[in-house]
Structure 1
Amino acid sequence: MPLPTSAPQTAETAYRLVIATAQTCSVNLRGLKGLIDAGARVPLVALVGLYQALNGSQGVGRSIQGVEGLAEYAKEALLAPDYDIDAEFMRSIIACKAVTDWLLANLPNDGAGGYVGWIHEGDGQIVPLTVAADTLAPLAALIDSALATFA
């Protein structure tokens, strides 16, 4: 069951929510990109976790729309009179949606819409299911594009 959401009460809380969400998305994207760049096998649970984190950010984008005074607050906080927080944050959300769309289309799944992150080896060991880094090259390019929006 999804958590209920509501619009932030003030321009300051909306601004802080945007900043926290952008930082969280950026950290998650950078972490996964580091694994891919290192040529490591990426655990499926890490990919699913990235999907969940980025998907949640889309709700934040909707929740800040129409918050009175947000645009002015952001301009003052950043000392940037031409900054458009709505446009910049939505640009990031759209780039992150490209990442989540790729993940949905390409993650190995159980055929019923679920993802199995662990497999049982013949000797009884439970090991994480992983994806080869080279198969994630298209995702890496989308991650780079998304990260560029958080500058």
Structure 2
Amino acid sequence: MRHHLTRTTTFATAAALALALTACSGSDGPSGAQKSPEASSPPGTATLCEATAQFEELSSQLQDFDIMQLDEARTSLEELTTTLENVDPPAEVADSVETVRTRLAELGDAVDRAVENPLDADAVSEASQAIESLSDRTFTDARDEIQQYTEANC
């Protein structure tokens, strides 16, 4: 039973993260065609561009998710959250970055509790709610605004 709940929580988390972060990772052109953030972007953009690159890496990792890589995925989420905590975003997207930062931190904490206590219904429910929050309008609007900004400036 414990293994089933852990696996269910893990897969649900991975799927939700992959869906939520994939929109941030799209690029129509080759990576070499992207602008250098240092060359012409507003202050704070380079760090935001770096965080967006981490979104892409985590999204890719979760698209090919293997249950045996749970710790790696959790570490990547933690690293992304830490990066976002250190982002000094441009004013145009500051509120959106804060929304994404807060939601991902909440998700990381909730998933950690659920994985550590898979038989705790409250912990699993909290993780489920955190996952669902990545699909609500507030989060998706913030994610889309960041995506538009980084496509234009990174």
- Structure ranking higher in strand proportion: 1
TM-score by length of 2: 0.36
TM-score by length of 1: 0.37
- Structure ranking higher in helix proportion: 2
